[in-house]
Structure 1
Amino acid sequence: MKYKNNIFVKTVVLMCIFFMTINPNVVFANNSKHNLNDDLQKDNKKVIYLTFDDGPSKLTDKFLDILKENNVKATFFLIGNQIEDNEQVVKRIYSEGHSIGLHTYSHKYRKIYRNGDSFIDEMNKSNEIIKRVTGKESHLIRFPGGSRKHLNKRFLEKLHNNKFKIYDWNIQAPDGINPKIPPYKLVKEATKDPDKHNPVILLMHCDYMHKNTCTALPQVISYYKSHGYEFEPITENTDEVYFPIKTNKASSFLEKLFKN
């Protein structure tokens, strides 16, 4: 009888877990110390970190012209294999006071996300090139596509052991989905509900395809300036900000339940 009761209890638990998994918010918990659900800016200062992915390219110079005209500093997460033909652009990014981050060497998902070591090797390879060009290395990293599907506690610890700091985003212009989206739509999305986030970490792109992003940029800058935001580059001292780490509580619970 005791054995049957035990089987019944386990069956009920399994059924509950099955239905809980239909809603990921029930099963998964946030284990991130600095994540995009946290309010990192505790004072009244309104800050925006303007960030650009997928450079450098010939078009990046036009982005730099706009930033210079508006006296704004930004952060560029660069792809290592694009630097060789654009070294002067990288030198300009650095000399004009912008921050440089790592966005892997190849940006090829199958390669960089093969395993943790492959990801770190890509970042290190890109870092070596940036150090050669600018004389300074960087530990600021951004996952291609964001960290959401790739970051767990063990990998986070490994990245920290390699001195890397992660920066995702909380607002984005959808130019990464389609670079041909009209500028007015990019402006609309890039300025959508910024009061929900402080600091704002805005994701845009600056490779050769993103002419519409370049057109939209002055309006984006004007909007945030008119709403009292200060533009700052991400530095080694900036608190890292990444998407919540999702841990499946059901797995550890089942392990304990059925270990005997």
Structure 2
Amino acid sequence: MSTERVEETKKGQNREMTPGRRKRIDRLKKMIVRAVVLMILLPTTGCIILGIKLHRARQYAESMEWQIYFLEGALQDSVDATDRAEALLRINEELRQSAGASGRTAPPADAEEAAGEEAASGTEDTRKVYLTFDDGPSIYTEEILDILAQYNVKATFFVTGKGKEGYGDVYRRIVDEGHTLGMHSYSHEYGNIYASLENFQKDLETLRNFLYNETGVVSHFYRFPGGSSNNVSRTDIREITAYLKAMDIEYFDWNVSAGDATSVYLNSGQIVNRVMNQVPSHRVAMVLLHDAADKHSTVEALPKLIEEIQELEDTEIVPITKETMLIQHVANE
């Protein structure tokens, strides 16, 4: 074909390419591009969603494995086959209630009054005072233990997880000297712990396993950071308490506060006075104290506080046990 004929053919094709035809071709091109993009994006998006669901499923499976582990431990502690059957029934009931729990239990209008009424229901004549220390261990824990040993007093330590700080000997000393080892969350990060029931479970299981590895003791006692009536939790607190119950863990709040948790400094005399102004009105006095690097005034107050409590008539200082009356701001129904 000659050059002249080729040029004429091109000119004829250009004449035939009307504006309407060009628009149709452009639309077709765009449709093809969009189809290709969708063919790439849809499988990719599906893989991402499946990956997220798989990750959550694995986390849930790990959480359930830990629950089974501790529930099996509770069954192994049963004395005979009858106890095991009763334990199974109790566990099944608690898990059922946990699955169906909804809504938040509002804290009592006066938590102090509610706790006082609960304490007043005790039948024993002897007043029981529980010295409880939150947030430890700290640089002062051993000083606290020395003072308790000097007065032959047993207390309860609601500890956090401080594996990297080298407090292994302190955790073991708490147990070896006859004090009660309680749990106060591993991280003590409110935003993370209370973000979901899954987060709470993971934090608790991490701490419980950590303490068992350090001391050989499986703790059965818990204190909520901020108390069970805290306003931080985004998870229904009854779901959490039902979970604790299923794990054979009792939680304790307090009805006597030393006031040493605030940013306002209190000297040792003020701490003693605050506690002693409250203790006489309770037959079961759960005293909230703190074991932290910025709370040395609490340590300084401890000898005088113990002496004044021991001077009260028909009063003894004891550690939390399975038989201890529950002091709870939000009742575990």
Alignment TM-score > 0.5, same fold: yes
Give distance in 1, aligned partners of 2:264 and 2:246.
36
In the TM superposition, 1:78-97 aligns within 5 A as 78-81=159-162, 84-97=165-178
Cα deviation digits, residues 59-82 of structure 1 (max 9, x gap): 100000100001100000000135
Whole-angstrom CA distance in 2 between matches of 1:29 and 1:89: 35
C-alpha contact 2:158 2:182 (8 A) present in aligned 1? yes
Task: Provide the residue aligned with 1:115 in structure 2.
Answer: 196
Say if 2:142 is the partner of 1:54: no
Aligned residue for 1:211? 296
How far did 1:241 drift?
A: 2.0
**Contact kept? 1:51, 1:74, Cα under 8 Å:** yes
The structure-2 alpha-carbon separation of the partners of 1:206 and 1:152, relative to structure 1 and needing over 3 Å to count, comes to: closer
Match of 2:319 among 186, 211, 233: 233
Q: Give the alignment partner of residue 222 of structure 2, picking from 141, 146, 152.
A: 141
Given the superposition, is the C-alpha separation of residues 129 and 28 from structure 1 closer, same or farther in structure 2, using an over 3 Å criterion? closer
Q: Alpha-carbon deviations, 1:78-123, whole Å to 9, x = none? A: 0013575111111111110000000000001100110222122211
* Contact kept? 1:83, 1:90, Cα under 8 Å: no
Which residue of structure 2 lines up, in the alignment, with residue 161 of structure 1?
246
- Structure 1 contact 67–73 (Cα < 8 Å) conserved: yes
Please identify, of 190-199 and 41-50, the stretch whose mean Cα deviation from structure 2 is larger. Answer: 190-199
Name the SS for the 2:287 alignment partner. strand
Q: Which has the higher strand share?
A: 1
Unaligned runs of 5+ in 2: 1-104, 109-113
Superposition deviation, residue 239 in structure 1: 3.2
Cα 1:167–1:29 shift into 2, 3 Å: closer
Which letter maps to 1:164? I
Q: CA deviation at 1:244?
A: 3.5
Give 2:262's match in structure 1, choosing from 151, 157, 177: 177
Amino acid at match of 1:38: E
User: Offset of 1:46 from its aligned partner?
Assistant: 0.8
- The residue number in structure 2 matching 1:20 is none
Contact 1:179–1:212 under 8 Å retained in 2: no
Q: What is the CA deviation profile of residues 18-41 of structure 1, one whole-angstrom value per residue up to 9, with x for unaligned ones? A: xxxxxxxxx9686xxxx7241352
> 1: distance between equivalents of 2:181 and 2:107?
32
SS of the equivalent of 1:55 reads coil
**Which residue of structure 1 lines up, in the alignment, with residue 183 of structure 2?**
102
- How far is 1:181 from its partner? 1.5
Unaligned runs of 5+ in 1: 1-26, 248-260
Q: Distance in 2 between matches of 1:127 and 1:158?
A: 14
Amino acid at match of 2:118: D
TM-align CA RMSD: 2.4
* Distance verdict in 2 for CA 1:28–1:89, change over 3 Å: closer
Percentage identity across aligned positions?
A: 31
2:137/2:162 contact within 8 Å kept = no
Quote the Cα distance in structure 2 between the aligned partners of 1:111 and 1:214. Answer: 30
The residue matched to 2:245 in structure 1 has which SS? helix
**TM-score normalized by the length of structure 2:** 0.61
The 2-side partners of 1:170 and 1:98 are apart by 20
Equivalent pairs counted in the alignment come to 218
Contact 1:179 1:213 in 2 (8 A): no
Q: Indicate the structure with greater helix content.
A: 2
Query: Contact (CA 8 Å) 2:228, 2:237: kept in 1 or not?
Result: no
Query: Residue 61 of structure 2 corresponds to which residue in structure 1?
Result: none
Rate the CA distance shift 1:69–1:28 in 2: closer, same or farther, 3 A.
Answer: closer
Mean Cα displacement is larger for which, 168-177 or 116-125? 116-125
